[in-house]
Amino acid sequence: MLPPNNDELDNQLDHDNSVGVNQETARYLQHIESKLYADIETRKRIDSGLLFLSCQVGSASLAWLLFSLQISISIILAMSMILALLPGLIDCGESFHFELSSERWSLSHAKPLVALGKLAIGGVIGWNSTQKIVTEVKFTEIQIQQTYSEIKSSQNTNTFTIPSGVLTPVIFGLGLIAIWVITIPLRKKPNV
């Protein structure tokens, strides 16, 4: 925001010179006024920077949070990209000036490189955080398809196979039956 027109202040100070306001007081007031406006602009830049950083961190965090909640990939992509691009879009919206008169029209931008930089950085961070999730989902889908095809191929074979966890108890049981059958003749009493 630009400081208000200082013509009124200068006129007031010029009229007050006759009353007794000295030049030192006028310079001091102007110094205080310019310092206040500079502090306000600095605070705006700091707030803008903090918004930018929090949106970038929030975009990556939001992507992983939505992925953990098993939200659809399209929603994850949309929400993360919107959040990542938000500071750049705000800066573009606030700093563009459109002027239309009967003679001409003009479109100007106060800080085009800053706005484009924020959009580019936001796009890269949003794209990078969501692409990691997309590649993990695609890799998981490929692994699921491979497992499914292996299960289908093993179900199509007509051979009988014993599951590996059942083989040891079956052999142990057969061994006990064999020992019992072998010991039956030994248990009979001889006829005397």
- Residues 92-132 pLDDT 10s: 777 777 777 778 887 777 777 888 888 888 888 888 888 88
Q: What are phi and psi of 190, to 5 degrees?
A: -70, 145
pTM, to two decimals: 0.50
Low-confidence winner among 40-54, 55-69, 151-165 (lowest mean pLDDT): 151-165
Which whole number is the average pLDDT over 11-33?
Answer: 72
Which whole number is the average pLDDT over 53-71?
Answer: 81
Q: State yes or no: pLDDT of 35 exceeds 90.
A: yes
- For position 61, what pLDDT does the model report? 82
- Residues 131-179 pLDDT 10s: 888 888 889 889 999 998 888 887 766 566 666 677 788 888 888 888 8
- For position 21, what pLDDT does the model report? 58
pLDDT band at residue 1, thresholds of 50, 70 and 90? very low
Q: Tokens 């007509």, residue?
A: 158
Average pLDDT, the chain: 79
Buried b (16+ CB within 10 A) or exposed e, 67-100: beeeeeeeebbebbbebbbbbbebbbeeeeeeee
- Three-state DSSP class for residue 128: helix
- For position 109, what pLDDT does the model report? 72
